[in-house]
Chain A
């Protein structure tokens, strides 16, 4: 008996089913879930960047204030005689 037509029919049905059925069931996924993940990621990244850069910024501000104080003192000492 020739089984070839049955095999072809089986393969064709399998192929059609594979093509017509989606690989993943997206229907139950809320379209906003990706956005929630993004917001979570954004908050975490902001926190990490803040944790990294805030100490650096406060150190920079600290040294800048010392520099300002020193320079303003020298400027004051150099300008006072002229004002007098």
Chain B
């Protein structure tokens, strides 16, 4: 029986990923099976995994994965990852860490006589609050003189997006979502021009763009034949990797247009209201202990951390890349609960993308939320973006069967600010209507007022039965 292959794993001809029960496997071509067994016997897979570069993987019998002999007698088993997030959902720091991880892995692999077949951030994700490489089959035998096949892809999918944000302040996420193959050198070269020359731009962007232009004019050029151990030694390859690492690690991601990056310091809460809110969220966190939390509009993740303290995992979504970067910096390397900072505009969340619209799953298909946190969000969606209140409550149901939602009334200073220069067409935006809608979908367990009653924290639970 042919297993149900993961729709995003078709690019590698040597093996495809599938799940069997709770376990994750990868089929192996005869050549790949021989290589993986060899790497396992030499201890390479364990060393790279112990170093934190690679997800734990091991070879096993195909019958363990309920496979007959059609796909050979050996498969590769991977540790199961609870959630995979995509580079267009990452803040700058995550993409930068993923790039550095890929280079570190390549350098370590070269010491084992191995190389990486490709270099895409889609091979990297968060595991226990650290970036980890999970496409074990990318490890290939290295022959001295062979160039790095993943170099151009590395530039398109890692370096160029980072350079775009670092040089211009323009967020890379919408670009990456539009172009899954990354930002091409000729395009970035035109965008940056010669005014924004910094480390790595001349060589990895302008020079490559010029080469591509020249090759397009020239037509059919055989370049690969010119590579051999004399023209491209391992030393040269390692030198190139180190040069790339310097270019990547020197980049800074702060965008000038961030609205929410400093929200933690500039919000409108009085200290006593803030304490009340923290206690309310912490109590809800205990009630939904062991569940998957989704924080809608997480900002720098302050409340995601409180609610998710007892969770199995917690996802924080926010549209501001800089705020999400702050959240990532807070949780990076933490050994506790796994947190997933994600850049996401709820008005336009990640859809299904790629080949047959199945290669990259939508946010809703992946999140798997069981409890939600929606603090100071309702006015942004319902007044700022005209979302009807009933639709807002439906969105909450998408992310969990209960949780905490904060009502922000029209008397609140922030709502008044939103309405200052526009006509108030939101006649049904009031507490009674909202409460009625909430009670139709959930059991309203408790309400706590802040801001003199202008804001109300609501704990909602699933209806009994």
- Using a CB–CB cutoff of 8 Å, the interface residues on chain A facing chain B are 24-26, 28-29, 31-44, 46-47
Residues B184 and A40 in contact, CB atoms below 8 Å apart: no
Residues B216 and A31 in contact, CB atoms below 8 Å apart: no
Residues A38 and B239 in contact, CB atoms below 8 Å apart: no
Residues B152 and A40 in contact, CB atoms below 8 Å apart: no
Q: 5 more A-B contacts (CB under 8 A) besides A37-B223, A38-B207, A47-B236?
A: A24-B216, A31-B152, A33-B212, A39-B232, A43-B236
Complex contacts, A36 vs chain B, CB 8 Å: 147, 151-152, 223-224, 227
Least distance between B243 CB and chain A CB atoms (Å): 8
Residues A46 and B236 in contact, CB atoms below 8 Å apart: yes
Q: Complex formed: what's the CA distance from A29 to B227 in Å?
A: 18
Would you give the 0/1 interface string for B133-165, flagging 1 where the beta carbon is closer than 8 Å to chain A?
000000000000001110111011000000000
Complex contacts, A47 vs chain B, CB 8 Å: 236
Query: Max chain A CB contacts within 10 Å: which of B185, B208, B236?
Result: B236
Residues B215 and A40 in contact, CB atoms below 8 Å apart: no
Complex contacts, A31 vs chain B, CB 8 Å: 152, 156, 181, 184, 212
Known interface pairs A42-B240, A43-B233, A46-B236; A37-B149 also in contact (CB < 8 Å) = no
Complex contacts, A24 vs chain B, CB 8 Å: 216-217, 219
Q: Give the size range of B's interface with the partner.
A: 35 or more
Q: Complex formed: what's the CA distance from A46 to B216 in Å?
A: 26
- Chain A residue nearest to B240 (CB atoms) is A42
Q: Complex formed: what's the CA distance from A55 to B283 in Å?
A: 70
- Chain A residue nearest to B227 (CB atoms) is A40
Known interface pairs A40-B231, A43-B232; A32-B212 also in contact (CB < 8 Å) = no
Sample (12) of A-B pairs whose CB atoms are under 8 Å apart: A29-B215, A31-B156, A32-B151, A32-B153, A33-B221, A34-B152, A35-B153, A36-B224, A36-B227, A38-B151, A40-B232, A43-B231
Q: Complex formed: what's the CA distance from A36 to B150 in Å?
A: 10
Contact check: which of A25, A26, A35, A41 meets B152 at CB < 8 Å? A35
B interface secondary structure, majority? helix
- Chain B residue nearest to A43 (CB atoms) is B236
Complex contacts, B152 vs chain A, CB 8 Å: 31-32, 34-36
Would you give the 0/1 interface string for B390-411, flagging 1 where the beta carbon is closer than 8 Å to chain A?
0000000000000000000000
Contact check: which of A28, A38, A40, A43 meets B208 at CB < 8 Å? A38
Least distance between B40 CB and chain A CB atoms (Å): 30
Residues B207 and A39 in contact, CB atoms below 8 Å apart: no
A interface secondary structure, majority? helix
Least distance between A43 CB and chain B CB atoms (Å): 4
Q: Complex formed: what's the CA distance from A37 to B212 in Å?
A: 9
Complex contacts, A40 vs chain B, CB 8 Å: 147, 223, 226-227, 231-232
Q: Complex formed: what's the CA distance from A36 to B212 in Å?
A: 10
Complex contacts, A26 vs chain B, CB 8 Å: 216
- Chain A residue nearest to B118 (CB atoms) is A32
Complex contacts, A37 vs chain B, CB 8 Å: 211, 215, 223
Decide if B203 is an interface residue (CB 8 Å cutoff): yes
Q: Complex formed: what's the CA distance from A37 to B210 in Å?
A: 11
Q: Complex formed: what's the CA distance from A44 to B219 in Å?
A: 23
Would you give the 0/1 interface string for B158-187, flagging 1 where the beta carbon is closer than 8 Å to chain A?
000000000000000000000001001100
Complex contacts, B184 vs chain A, CB 8 Å: 31
Q: Complex formed: what's the CA distance from A42 to B238 in Å?
A: 11
Q: Which residues of chain B (200-250) have a CB below 8 Å from chain A?
A: 203-204, 207-209, 211-212, 215-217, 219-221, 223-224, 226-227, 231-233, 236-237, 239-240, 243
Residues A39 and B211 in contact, CB atoms below 8 Å apart: no
Q: Complex formed: what's the CA distance from A78 to B212 in Å?
A: 66
Complex contacts, A28 vs chain B, CB 8 Å: 220
Least distance between B145 CB and chain A CB atoms (Å): 10
Residues A39 and B148 in contact, CB atoms below 8 Å apart: yes
Least distance between A18 CB and chain B CB atoms (Å): 18
Would you give the 0/1 interface string for B343-371, flagging 1 where the beta carbon is closer than 8 Å to chain A?
00000000000000000000000000000
Residues A34 and B240 in contact, CB atoms below 8 Å apart: no
Least distance between A65 CB and chain B CB atoms (Å): 25
Least distance between A2 CB and chain B CB atoms (Å): 42
Residues B232 and A33 in contact, CB atoms below 8 Å apart: no
- Chain A residue nearest to B182 (CB atoms) is A31
Known interface pairs A29-B216, A33-B221, A40-B231; A46-B239 also in contact (CB < 8 Å) = yes
Q: Complex formed: what's the CA distance from A39 to B148 in Å?
A: 8
Complex contacts, A33 vs chain B, CB 8 Å: 211-212, 215, 221, 223
Q: Complex formed: what's the CA distance from A44 to B243 in Å?
A: 15
Q: Complex formed: what's the CA distance from A25 to B217 in Å?
A: 9
